[in-house]
Structure 1
Amino acid sequence: MNGKNASVINIISREANIKRKLRRHLQDLGFEKSDEGALRIQGSGKDIVRTLHRAQREERLRASSDFIAAKAEKLLGYFASGKEIDPEKISPVLERVAAGTPQGDLFRLASLTWSVPVSNGFGRRLRYLIWDENNGKLMGLIAIGDPVFNLAVRDRFIDWNTHDRSARLVNVMDAYVLGAIPPYNALLGGKLVACLLRSRDLYDDFARTYGGSTGIISNQEKKARLLAVTTSSSMGRSSVYNRLKIGDQQYLKSIGYTGGWGHFHIPDGLFTELRDYLRDMDHRYADQHRFGQGPNWRLRTTRAALSALGFKEDLLRHGIQREVFICELAKNSAKILQSGKGEPDIGALLTAKEISELALERWITPRAKRRSEFKDWVSSDLIDLFGRQTRVLRNQLESLNLFKETASG
């Protein structure tokens, strides 16, 4: 057999191998093909969503196993047990997180407990830890980053055209991490955390960090102001974000649902193989992943690889719709985003401390009086949120005597 024939056989064999892996993975998740060739999954609800994210989450946990082993002993002490919380004395404070710091490590460890894998964000980013100052324990996380360029429900809500969006999307961010840590989540702490998106603290931090930045895509200087933050519920309709209102002020507004397209059901390992396949074809998407080279590089890369392998685009239609919300920081945010004219009306914008006090009175304190289950949570229960890494982590912590101490404490 000459070298040319061997090369052709290797390419065919590689394509067949990737196809088999992809079909097997989708079948394992529970997907079937409809008569039209689109993906279809039986059932609905949060358990289905968790199942679809399972492979990607386990990959993230495996990739982070060394980090967990090295950092867990020191960091687990920052997570509260229910008995350490006095609902009448909870005092939330925001702390900005910088890369390469112990706070950054804590943010990473806490985000690994999310049932849906947390992305690293891209482009501009602001990350925060929310602390309970009364006991020194972690309450929740916030991370906002650059939004995707195309988001139909957002664009319809603002009612801007492509030119307007290109010029003024710099004033919008997306909350890609937003939530409370156990046991504060049982006290409706997620509502408090979400309200903090509309705080003077985030508005001012954004202005200091990115107010005089140059647009990566346009390469033009822009006086960016944080006018709006979008976020989406990974579990379909959100019970935490809906009706998020204190007094007359609405903090998050539902603006519709995504179309059920995406790539989250393609785990990192398979995506790497798809990307390598494109690279061998000298396809431009294989390594075109800097922000500013177009919207959602991973989605476009996956689509290109699937097309090259002979799959229909419908393979990216997973059917899981996310509810999308928008937080408008200025009273006239939508008007400025649409027209590009005017100064932000932020006279009624409260500080994180002021918002927290209102949220405690509105949700946390009444919840604690009605439901006492949060007291049963012990910080060592957090280990059970690390998926298949749980057994390994338990063994590691027991060898350090940490697990026994947190369980007994």
Structure 2
Amino acid sequence: MNGAELAELVLRKLQEAGFVVTADSIDYPSVLDKEGLRQIHEPAVQLEIASRKEWLNRNLPKYLRFFANGDEVIPEHIDPVLIEVTETQHHNLFRMARFLWSLPFSKGYGRRLRCLIMDRSNGKLIGLLALQSPPLSFPARDRLFCYPPGRKTEMVNQTMDIQTLGAVPPYDRLLGGKLIALVAASNEIRQMYWRKYSGRTTEMERRILPPHLVALTTTSAFGRSSLYNRLRFNGSVIAESLGYTEGYGTFHLMELYPLFRAFLEQQGISTYGGFGTGPRRKWQTMVRALNRLGFSGDLLRHGVKREVFLFRLVDNLESYMEGLDTEPKYRHLPFSDLVTWWRERWLLPRSKRVNGWKEWRREEIRNLLLADQEKVEP
């Protein structure tokens, strides 16, 4: 594809994302509701699913059985168990379920921790949790701390960013997402992180970082979050709102990222590399391509302001991150206590208040992922 064709495609994708494109200007989109935002993400999601059709055809019959029918879920008997993703079966089930999200799938970057939350009462999947290395620069987070001179990287790398969090049907109808959010703050997640990264040497700087996990950050998918807001445990705030992002990102043009790379490579500009291939690298690649196509890099301002949340895993977060305390004072949040709280606070009241979740059938997952394929038996 030549530059003129790619530029025309950029304009078309911007229009699909809600930008107002005229001969003289490109105006940013007006505020969209959550359904409108999902529609903007839909092409990238479908592109990812289409690229994995062969894998889905091969694996869906094997893994569909881990998704529950509504009548297989008895709220009073739900018994969540936390499983770290370490085996091939875990990876495949995580990947399969992740395709159900409204946001495109990403493997994440840097340090990563993935978990399945299963229902021991029936062997079905409740939801997913995935953590990844945090961005080194994150204004909403960085405004909270005065990092010790020269130690920002060390301190920030004792936090993680929530990359995937949520429940799958029919558990999502029963506020299973609240359970997964509580689990993210649990003692068991911190301990899992410690076991995986204690004594590990960083690949870039060849040094050993403290294996403490003192905080998590995340942003809502579509503006204000109903999942994280008012998320408490015994009166303590679990997810603390830090305000909103400034509305910059790459998702509305991510479908074109392979074409941007190919365009730059044709011009002799390398887009490959080992480190720095995460969001920052993608951002730089897309800005460079847009500039060479005659556009401003400001087109990556999509206007979707995501709510930012902080999960404090220690009581002395500010003083620890600022180097005043040498040891973190961990909050005591056992997985079993969080499950009990979720069951009484959200699950049981919700199961009596809403209808429709019992009618859910896992065949709907097959239809979502293989809509244009031959039917696969569950």
Q: TM-score, normalised by structure 1?
A: 0.87
Residue 378 of structure 1 deviates from its aligned partner by 1.6
Q: Retained in 1: the 8 A contact 2:71–2:358?
A: yes
- 2:357 aligned with 1:396: no
- 2:31 aligned with 1:52: no
Distance 1:124 1:15 in 2: 37
Q: How does 1:117-196 map to 2 (within 5 A)?
A: 117-160=104-147, 163-196=150-183
- 1:271 alignment counterpart: 257
- Secondary structure of the 1:314 match is helix
Which amino acid in structure 2 is aligned with residue 383 of structure 1?
Answer: R
- 2:297 alignment counterpart: 313
Residue 251 of structure 1 deviates from its aligned partner by 1.3
Which amino acid in structure 2 is aligned with residue 276 of structure 1?
Answer: A
- 2:284 aligned with 1:287: no
Counterpart among 354, 358, 362 of residue 371 in structure 1: 354
Question: Alpha-carbon deviations, 1:115-156, whole Å to 9, x = none?
Answer: 111211011111011001111110000000111222110111
Q: Could you say which structure has the larger radius of gyration?
A: 1
Distance 1:170 1:214 in 2: 13
- 1:236 alignment counterpart: 223
Which amino acid in structure 2 is aligned with residue 282 of structure 1?
Answer: G
Distance 1:105 1:293 in 2: 24
Q: Retained in 2: the 8 A contact 1:242–1:254?
A: yes
Distance 2:65 2:44 in 1: 27
- 2:298 aligned with 1:300: no
Q: Retained in 2: the 8 A contact 1:56–1:267?
A: yes
Q: How many pairs align? A: 378
Which amino acid in structure 2 is aligned with residue 64 of structure 1?
Answer: R
Q: Retained in 2: the 8 A contact 1:198–1:349?
A: no
Show structure 1 runs of 5+ residues with no match.
Answer: 1-12, 404-409
- 1:221 alignment counterpart: 208
Residue 292 of structure 1 deviates from its aligned partner by 4.9
Distance 1:35 1:158 in 2: 45
Q: 1:272 to 1:352 in 2, by over 3 A?
A: same
- 2:344 alignment counterpart: 361
Identity of aligned residues (%): 34
Which amino acid in structure 2 is aligned with residue 126 of structure 1?
Answer: L
- 2:189 aligned with 1:207: no
- 2:12 alignment counterpart: 24
Which amino acid in structure 1 is aligned with residue 99 of structure 2?
Answer: L
Residue 27 of structure 1 deviates from its aligned partner by 1.9
- 2:241 aligned with 1:254: yes
Distance 2:282 2:133 in 1: 15
Question: Alpha-carbon deviations, 1:270-304, whole Å to 9, x = none?
Answer: 211211222233335x113x335786110111111
Distance 1:39 1:250 in 2: 39
Distance 1:102 1:169 in 2: 32
Q: How does 1:329-348 map to 2 (within 5 A)?
A: 329-339=313-323, 341-346=325-330, 348=331
More helix per residue? 1
Residue 339 of structure 1 deviates from its aligned partner by 2.2
Distance 1:317 1:37 in 2: 15
- Secondary structure of the 1:296 match is helix
Residue 159 of structure 1 deviates from its aligned partner by 4.1
Counterpart among 306, 321, 324 of residue 322 in structure 1: 306
Q: 1:357 to 1:28 in 2, by over 3 A?
A: same
Cα RMSD of the aligned pairs, angstroms, is 2.1
Residue 37 of structure 1 deviates from its aligned partner by 4.7
Q: Retained in 2: the 8 A contact 1:34–1:40?
A: no
- 1:7 alignment counterpart: none
Counterpart among 67, 92, 102 of residue 115 in structure 1: 102
Q: 1:293 to 1:272 in 2, by over 3 A?
A: closer
Question: Alpha-carbon deviations, 1:90-125, whole Å to 9, x = none?
Answer: 1110001126x1111010000001111121101111
- Secondary structure of the 2:121 match is coil
- 1:383 alignment counterpart: 366
Q: TM-score, normalised by structure 2?
A: 0.94
Q: 1:105 to 1:57 in 2, by over 3 A?
A: same
Greater mean deviation of Cα atoms: 31-40 or 322-331: 31-40
Question: Alpha-carbon deviations, 1:168-223, whole Å to 9, x = none?
Answer: 11101111100011111111110111011111111111111112223344432222
- Secondary structure of the 1:390 match is coil
- 1:6 alignment counterpart: none
Greater mean deviation of Cα atoms: 40-49 or 299-308: 40-49
Q: Retained in 2: the 8 A contact 1:82–1:183?
A: yes
Distance 2:23 2:338 in 1: 51
Residue 250 of structure 1 deviates from its aligned partner by 1.6
Q: 1:109 to 1:295 in 2, by over 3 A?
A: closer
Distance 2:127 2:326 in 1: 34
Distance 1:308 1:163 in 2: 36
- Secondary structure of the 1:229 match is strand
Q: 1:206 to 1:39 in 2, by over 3 A?
A: farther
- 1:3 alignment counterpart: none
